[in-house]
Amino acid sequence: AGGDRVTTGITIGEKATLAVSSAAAERIYRSAGTATELSTRLAIESGGSGLWLPQETILHDGARLQRQFEIDLAGDSALVFGELLYFGRRASGEGFGRGALCESWRVRRGGRLIFADETRLSGDFSDDILHPAALGGHVALATLLFAAPDGPDHIDAIRETLREEEGLEGGATLLDGLILIRFAAANAALLRNHFMALAEFLARRIARPMPRALSH
């Protein structure tokens, strides 16, 4: 809720492995004016591997969220890092068209910045967010990061999994050894199913099981 601040800091040691998930969806409720601040810092040391796959984050109308991700990877580490973001609960007639969303991503590999991304929404953006140049008719967004020592070798296989489906758009980009996957959908359930299938596909690529909370 408005004004809450949560910081998560995790270091995965040399040759260690860790899977992180959550038991339920994360809800960001309407704020009277103060932003909720969520900060995640993840470091993976040499030879380590990790999965970060929480349940979805739901933005309720009027929510004000500042969210930051800082990821530091050793050159030979492996990672599957995913986030699901729902703009309201459309099945319940709820949207997210006013409030604020400030989201920042920074990923470093071997101490060098390889990915930086910023999102800024504020005020009443109910018309803008559904513009074809923005989300269009989509109401949910997924982000997956995949890193491995042989990461670039997996880009073609990953792109083959991003099948074209009505109401779903996405793509995968290779960024100096890091693979960024983003897709959006007009149906949150469709997005989540595709996200989980792709996350499991990526987890197998680094020989890691899915977190128990997400197992079928």
User: Given CA atoms 169, 115, 44, 156 in this order, what sign does their dihedral have?
Assistant: positive
pLDDT surpassing 70 at residue 90: no
pLDDT grade for 171, boundaries at 50, 70 and 90: very high
> What are the structure tokens assigned to 162, written together?
């991003």
pLDDT grade for 124, boundaries at 50, 70 and 90: confident
User: Given CA atoms 1, 54, 25, 180 in this order, what sign does their dihedral have?
Assistant: positive
pLDDT grade for 215, boundaries at 50, 70 and 90: low
Mean pLDDT calculated for residue range 109-115? 96
DSSP state of 63: B
The pTM for the full model equals 0.91
pLDDT at 189: 87
User: 10 Å Cβ neighbour count for 115?
Assistant: 18
CB-side neighbour CA atoms (13 Å) of 9: 1
pLDDT grade for 43, boundaries at 50, 70 and 90: very high
pLDDT grade for 146, boundaries at 50, 70 and 90: very high
Of the listed ranges 58-62, 87-91, 101-105, 147-151, the one predicted with least confidence: 87-91
Whole-angstrom distance, CA of residue 62 vs CA of residue 60: 6
Whole-angstrom distance, CA of residue 148 vs CA of residue 178: 8
Mean pLDDT calculated for residue range 138-158? 92
Kind and range of the H or E run holding 115: strand 112-124
pLDDT at 136: 67
Please give the mean pLDDT across all residues of the chain: 88
Of the listed ranges 11-15, 32-36, 48-52, 86-90, the one predicted with least confidence: 86-90
